[in-house]
Structure 1
């Protein structure tokens, strides 16, 4: 197993820690672990590229851990801390479920995974900043989360364009 994949697995194992800390209302500690997971996401990708160790497992596991982190945290922010409305979680889930379905279709049809796009990374980072603000109960956290969700829709359209181009080229 590659170092990058080990880091990704470690990131996944830290998600319950963030959730537990939020349940205890230890927001600053939860934020520290949350940001560690987010920053190490960039690190594992960089390591995989530099060491030429990009794997199929990593292509599947890395975005899965990201999605699990955001959905888990947002769910707690809806139902436990009540910092965000349920409707925002629902709107957040729509493009991400669409991307998961697309990834499954690609995998089942033995097509290569679509590489991360700038729009997807921008959506993720705005979401991360918004969630961080919400953890700290700073102003504009909800606004940033709404913007991040909107960017997720744009990113989903970009991924759909790439997918349709791949389908057209394969025929």
Structure 2
């Protein structure tokens, strides 16, 4: 994975040029001292983002095979890398345009795949349609900003809260299926609804 990224740097150096962070959040410092300090030196924020993309097909396979025990563990691990890569980039001033583009895309691939496999089978179909429709709008807005305006924006607060809500809802859905506890599906439905609200706030206030 690192070799692939290194090769990409030679072809598109501007995408991988490091940028200084404008702000470092308290949770960034917390993760830096508790988790990030133990990562091997060769691990970069972009490696963590790429790892999430690589893990997504494995999560899809596990969910398709109804292996929810392994699926929820790997899904949560992959989702946790979303918290790590952003904090890692901000605390080490290794923000890149590649990361700004790949990070939200990796999120959408991971959560979107889980939604297709779980939500459409266990919830009202329109819930899945709305969630996926909003994710497609996010992707299109990011592409337009990059292609037309040569601008790459990082995900805003509402986008991150939306992602966290979706991760919780998807995890609850897997636990409900694993433990045969339908009430968790009711809770997950409410959280998916909140995620839609956060998605709309993110879209209209930031566009990513």
Give the TM-score of the pair, scaled to structure 1. Answer: 0.85
* Contact 2:159-2:202 within 8 A present in 1 as well: yes
2:126 to 87, 100, 108: 87
- Pairwise CA distance, 1:109: 2.3
User: Match for residue 146 of structure 1?
Assistant: 193
User: Match for residue 172 of structure 2?
Assistant: 133
1:10 to 51, 60, 63: 51
1: CA distance, partners of 2:164 / 2:45: 20
Note the alpha carbon deviations across 1:131-156, whole angstroms, 9 max, x for none.
11111112411221122122211211
1: CA distance, partners of 2:101 / 2:94: 14
- Pairwise CA distance, 1:17: 1.2
User: Could you tell which deviates more after superposition, 56-65 or 113-122?
Assistant: 113-122
1: CA distance, partners of 2:133 / 2:52: 24
5+ long unaligned stretches in structure 1: 164-171
2: CA distance, partners of 1:149 / 1:26: 27
- Pairwise CA distance, 1:67: 0.6
The answer to whether the aligner puts 1:106 opposite 2:145 as a matched pair is yes
The CA RMSD measured in Å over matched residues stands at: 1.7
2: CA distance, partners of 1:60 / 1:114: 8
* Contact 2:104-2:155 within 8 A present in 1 as well: no
Larger radius of gyration: 2
What SS is found at the alignment partner of 1:25? coil
1: CA distance, partners of 2:72 / 2:128: 19
5+ long unaligned stretches in structure 2: 1-5, 7-42, 177-183
- Pairwise CA distance, 1:115: 2.7
